[in-house]
Structure 1
């Protein structure tokens, strides 16, 4: 199990400070959120990259269909090179307009089906873009004409920047997208439900037992696809205290036993004016590892 901290605030200077503190305090990863009309996460992570040496850096998460894939490829490549190959890309469809209108103030939600198409095509296109070599692409949503000029440098990590993808269990079309990449960010649709469970319902219904079933399915599908020998992560997000080591370890342990490989600590309920103090204290306390 590796341990990451998600900074839920918006101050980029504080985020860079926390990334350094996280590395000093034994965390394995530091993540920031990505919004629409918000602090740019990749600029923040670029700054964090040059003042850290070990910790992995990423977003939680990037709404890939809302981005131009060539711009996202350039940003992630830049941070990958600045960090010496420590970037993770967390990719999802983005929140629907009927769930959070704030994220759709500049455009209209084309719907889940179109966003899913854009996610698939963007991720495929970025595989080429990250290599910094001539290629061409003609798809339903994007095109790329071949060029031999002004090519960017390639990413350091190969064959790609590790890409964690949101997948809704047990919706197989969604989960088969996850199979092709490098990690699973779980969402859960309980049997009989009309949609994905919200955050509170997820905490009730998405249990380590459900996770173990989904993880077994993922590993079987990856084996059938010839991907069993490639690294694959399973993410679990939650909130630990940083003050009660036994309770924190007890919270994380069932997820590790189910097959999760990353615990991401976050608390999205902390008021904005308290985020700085909370984040400094929680990061300094270190990860909820049973070996600490």
Structure 2
């Protein structure tokens, strides 16, 4: 069981410091948002930094924690460029990179809806799937090619390969119980679960775990994540919040405070450390 902290915001100097503090406090992973410009009535424009540069700074300040974006909107990125960015980060961190991926908050991020990016779910899903196929080939260090509806890659070899083998772990968003979404998850290394209708429950996580065990053909490790908020000053209550999800089968608890971006409060929670289950 691992515990991650999603840093909801901060300035470009503070976020790498938070990552180092999270490592010192016993967290197992540190994650940051991938956005270009959040611009909605509820969330006016605020600071958004490039995730790969920030994650590089975070890698330089840490030695143990897993690092990654939460969630990478890869439909708007050129796959071969993304392959080099993620491979480089994997090498810099000595194999501590993971890649959670999804369609992106297209209606909230001006980096989608104000610049002409693909907005339909179907279109973004198709772009994401092709991008993942190209990443898988590029990270291998072997010759690969790709011929799709959106991307065309002639036979090529990108060196060096990723440190992690067979690849950098990919955790797609999986919408339960939507069959097409869940079939995508089976091809990769983990799931960031969402529910088609209603709120996710531990029983849903248990069903997802059973579905994966019954249908996944790969023998590599598979992670199930869930995010929420626990009080750092009340260990018993924190344990009570997390325990049902652990019992249901998650492998990562993600401490997420998306609505609280006050740096002092976020840093205090980081320093209090992850919830502990006896």
Deviations 1:4-35 (A, max 9, x none): 00000042211100111111110000000000
2:252 is the alignment partner of 1:266: no
Q: How far apart, in 2, do the equivalents of 1:12 and 1:120 lie? A: 31
Between Structure 1 and Structure 2, how many residues are aligned? Answer: 267
Q: How does 1:188-207 map to 2 (within 5 A)?
A: 188-190=195-197, 205-207=199-201
Compared CA separation, residues 219 and 287, structure 1 to 2 (3 A): same
**Aligned counterparts, 1:169-208, within 5 A:** 169-190=176-197, 205-208=199-202
- 8 Å CA contact 2:99–2:169 kept in 1: the answer is yes
> Is 1:289–2:276 an aligned residue pair?
yes
1:209 to 199, 203, 223: 203
Structure 1 stretches of 4+ with a deviation exceeding 4 A read: none
Structure 2 residue aligned with 1:232: 222
- 1:129-208 matches, within 5 Å, as 129-147=138-156, 151-190=158-197, 205-208=199-202
Structure 1: tracts of 5 or more residues without a match? 191-196, 198-204
Deviation at 1:101, TM superposition (A): 5.8
Cα deviation, 1:193-213, whole Å, max 9, x if unaligned, reads: xxxx5xxxxxxx211012111
Structure 2: 5+ residue runs without aligned partners? 38-47
Per the normalisation by structure 1, the TM-score is 0.87
Q: What is the match of residue 237 of structure 2?
A: 247
Q: Which residue of 1 aligns with 2:55?
A: 45
Q: 1:142 to 1:246 in 2, by over 3 A?
A: same
Counterpart in the other structure of 2:40: none
C-alpha RMSD of the superposition: 1.5
Distance 1:242 1:64, change over 3 A: same
Given that 2:35 and 2:109 are in contact with CA atoms closer than 8 Å, whether structure 1 keeps it comes out as no
Task: Please give the per-residue CA displacement for 1:27-65, whole angstroms capped at 9, x wherever unaligned.
Answer: 000000000253011111111112211111011010111
What is the match of residue 4 of structure 2?
4
User: What is the DSSP-based 3-state SS (H/G/I as helix, E as strand, rest coil) of the residue aligned with 2:13?
Assistant: helix
**Equivalent of 2:214, from 181, 198, 220?**
220
